[in-house]
Amino acid sequence: TLPGELKAALALHLPAPSIVNFSQASKAVNDAIKQENFWKQLYGRDYKLNSRHVNAGNWNSIYKQT
């Protein structure tokens, strides 16, 4: 079994729609992808982070609103 951090790292290499499918692969994958740090990294990958985002809060919501 892969550690959660590695599952999340793998997911970061997928396009956003594929992340949804990957998250449904197992509870462990879904739990790894629910982590705030994952969503912050995903936001940083897809959008430019700036100083106003340093303590932005719920990264999942921020990503989905963008």
pLDDT band at 56 (very low <50, low <70, confident <90, very high): low
pLDDT for 52: 62
Three-state secondary structure call for residue 63:
helix
Structure token digits, residue 19: 């992340």
Is 1's pLDDT higher than 90? no
Using the structure block, give the residue that is written with the tokens 């729609």. Answer: 17
55, 57, 61, 66: CA torsion to nearest 10:
-20
pLDDT for 51: 57
* Span 7-51, pLDDT tens digits: 999 999 999 899 999 999 999 999 999 999 899 899 889 988 765
